Amino acid sequence: MSSRRREKRHHKERKDKKHHRSHRRKDSFDKIPINDIERINKSKREYISKDFKARIINKEPYIVKIKNFLTSGEVKELIRLAEKNGFERSNVVIDNKLLYDEMRTSQTSYLLEDGCPRKYSKNIENLIKRICYLLDCKREQIEGLMCVKYEGGEYFETHVDFFSTDDVDLLEDAGNRIFTFFAYLNSVDKGEGGETEFPELGVKSRPIKGDAVGWWNFARGEKKQNTLHRGLPPTEGHVKYGLNIWIREKPFF
């Protein structure tokens, strides 16, 4: 091969590589911090604990487990608010309606004011900032925080967190739930139940105080049907407290 042809070939290869790198840089989904474990584990932001540590527990669908997602102060404040507001029977969405059903027997406390997220305390506002950073989202995309309580024998059967296209009253202008964090407000020892289980994936997450599990319900416009999961019941005499955090496609309020 002549030197001129080699030069042209090498120039084309460099151009193709440059184009590939450029295309990769333009993928905004890959830039979202939660998708880069190494990046978030090195974060020095004031609203992220120095003991914060994330790891991938399933690649597809993408599921992460985060150690020290919540601080002890946040946990204490969330439980205080939940107990102050009171718990009621949890509901489910069936045929575009919120109903009580035997598939979910847990209890929920809504940390809301007039149906919309309030201005939370400083502790909880730091949590909101953390969520916005990790998901590169706006505060208005986060649904009002909800605490849940599972007493011995209470459960939530297998379900997904995103809405079906028939649930128009729940979708409204905010669109679907694209991401879920479920954070644990207390620990449940091994053998005492209470895990978050993804039965189709063979993945379980045991409740450890301050930790969280998170996953994409939508990724690049695709519903992740294989994020089917369930809240297993604690054994009798034990209780699990958790925090539901759902992020919508667009501003929720």
Q: pLDDT tens across 40-97, in order?
A: 999 999 999 999 999 999 999 999 999 999 999 999 999 999 999 999 999 999 888 8
Check whether residue 110 and residue 170 sit in a common domain.
yes
Check whether residue 116 and residue 174 sit in a common domain.
yes
Question: Which residues are bridge partners to 234 per DSSP?
Answer: 193
Q: Which domain holds residue 54?
A: 32-248
203 in a domain, yes or no?
yes
Check whether residue 74 and residue 161 sit in a common domain.
yes
pLDDT band of residue 162 (cuts 50, 70, 90) is: very high
Peptide linkage before 199 cis (omega within 30 of 0)? no
Check whether residue 17 and residue 126 sit in a common domain.
no
Q: Give the phi and the psi of residue 115 in degrees, each rounded to 5.
A: 80, -5
Angle at the Cα of 65 (from 58 to 85), degrees rounded to 5?
A: 130
Check whether residue 175 and residue 148 sit in a common domain.
yes
189 in a domain, yes or no?
yes
Question: What's the pLDDT score for residue 54?
Answer: 98
Check whether residue 41 and residue 24 sit in a common domain.
no
119 in a domain, yes or no?
yes
253 in a domain, yes or no?
no
Check whether residue 111 and residue 132 sit in a common domain.
yes
Among 4-18, 34-48, 120-134, 217-231, where is mean pLDDT lowest? 4-18
